[in-house]
Amino acid sequence: MERGTQFIGQSGAFLDAVERASRAAPMARPVLVIGERGTGKELIAERLHRLSTRWDGPLVIMNCAALPETLIEAELFGHEAGAFTGATKARAGRFEEADGGTLFLDELGTLSMGAQERLLRAVEYGEITRIGSSRPIRVDVRIVGATNEDLPAKAARNEFRPDLLDRLSFEVITLPPLRVREGDVEVLAQYFGRRMATELGWEEWPGFAPHVARQLEEYAWPGNVRELRNVVERAVYRWDDWHEPVGHVQFDPFDSPWKPFSPAPVSRTGQVTAPVAADAPTFAAPQELDGVDDLRSAVDAHERAILEHALGKHRWNQRQTAKALGLSYDQLRHAIKKHGLSE
């Protein structure tokens, strides 16, 4: 499946953003795509290009944060031979490569002020000048910029040119983070899980155990869809028995009891602060409780969550789980029966 067709989601916030991109695509105007990391900004840029009249032209992608400041202008606008040390021959820049198509500038907010000034002229007049040359070159390029920064705030701090921001913001598409896309975590997790199961040669897709599905829904997903894909694919590939639902998921791939030791921080009084156990699962703090019954329910829910996490991590090996939790085998069996847990 082509990357550009992987628009998976059903939430209203997500579909509204996709619809706005579809409406803006035929317009030969600049578009800004705003969103947190992993929300799919490049996919929206590709959609803007494929649904435009420039669909058969080039789509040139440049990550502005991946290049040192001294090379960004040469990369964007090209250079003539001898323009600077190491420029042994003339080279066309990304604007010339994208002539007749779309230029996607990712991490736009990292551009230097000098590059922003030259970009402003290119957007306003359709002309660029190679470094080391005095002859302007006409280009027909549509600009799509993307960032996870607050550009109006940067402009107010004189860190981004307000006039360039005005030129680029004909349309602004803000992508919702995964944590607010109601129902999309389950849809995406099933999609990535099925795809990974097919890649591994599983004969069928068993889905996720209920406690794993609940953990996926409750997680905040700071890395959004990209993080979800990694977490799901890692959980599936580590799960050996495709006859049983995937029963364990690890959100932090660096979480290990054997990871390199970090010295404990020392307070101003000279006391060593106790480190937090790396392997301990984290749970949301309960809401304000009202009475003994609420307290008992909250404790039971917390205990059940710890049991589910530990059982899934140890693949329902009850003796290993009991050892990890500091319980006897009989105590663990009693807890499993108490909470109605089963494989």
User: For 55-101, what is each residue's pLDDT tens digit?
Assistant: 999 999 999 988 887 788 888 988 888 777 767 788 888 999 999 99
Which pLDDT value is given to residue 262?
A: 65
Confidence of residue 264 (pLDDT cuts 50, 70, 90): low
Q: Specify which residues 174 forms β-bridges with.
A: 34
| Single-letter amino acid, residue 209 | A
Which pLDDT value is given to residue 37?
A: 94
Q: Which tokens go with 88?
A: 């042994």
DSSP 274-329: PPPPTT----PPPPPP-SHHHHHHHHHHHHHHHHHHHHHHTTT-HHHHHHHHT--H
Query: Tens of pLDDT along 197-239?
Result: 999 999 999 999 999 999 999 999 999 999 999 999 999 999 9
Which pLDDT value is given to residue 10?
A: 92
Confidence of residue 292 (pLDDT cuts 50, 70, 90): low
Confidence of residue 333 (pLDDT cuts 50, 70, 90): confident
Confidence of residue 188 (pLDDT cuts 50, 70, 90): very high
33-37, 162-166, 261-265, 333-337: which has the minimum mean pLDDT? 261-265
Taking alpha carbons only, the member of 181, 24, 39 closest to residue 106 is 39
Q: What is the mean pLDDT of residues 273-296?
A: 55
In Å, what is the CA distance from 243 to each residue of 204, 274, 313? 8, 42, 17
Which residues, 6 or more positions from 102, have their beta carbon under 8 angstroms from its beta carbon?
45, 48, 49, 52, 54, 57, 58, 59, 60, 141, 142, 143, 144
Which pLDDT value is given to residue 286?
A: 55
Answer yes or no: are the C-beta atoms of 236 and 246 closer than 8 Å. Answer: yes
Q: Which tokens go with 180?
A: 């607010």
Query: Tens of pLDDT along 266-279?
Result: 555 555 554 444 44
* Domain annotation for the chain: domains and CATH numbers: 3-176 (3.40.50.300), 182-260+280-338 (1.10.8.60)
Query: How far apart (Å, rounded) are the C-alpha atoms in residues 134 and 148?
Result: 35
Query: Tens of pLDDT along 136-166?
Result: 899 999 999 999 999 999 999 999 999 999 9
Query: How far apart (Å, rounded) are the C-alpha atoms in residues 143 and 187?
Result: 32
Query: Tens of pLDDT along 1-59?
Result: 344 457 899 999 999 999 999 999 999 999 999 999 999 999 999 999 999 999 999 99
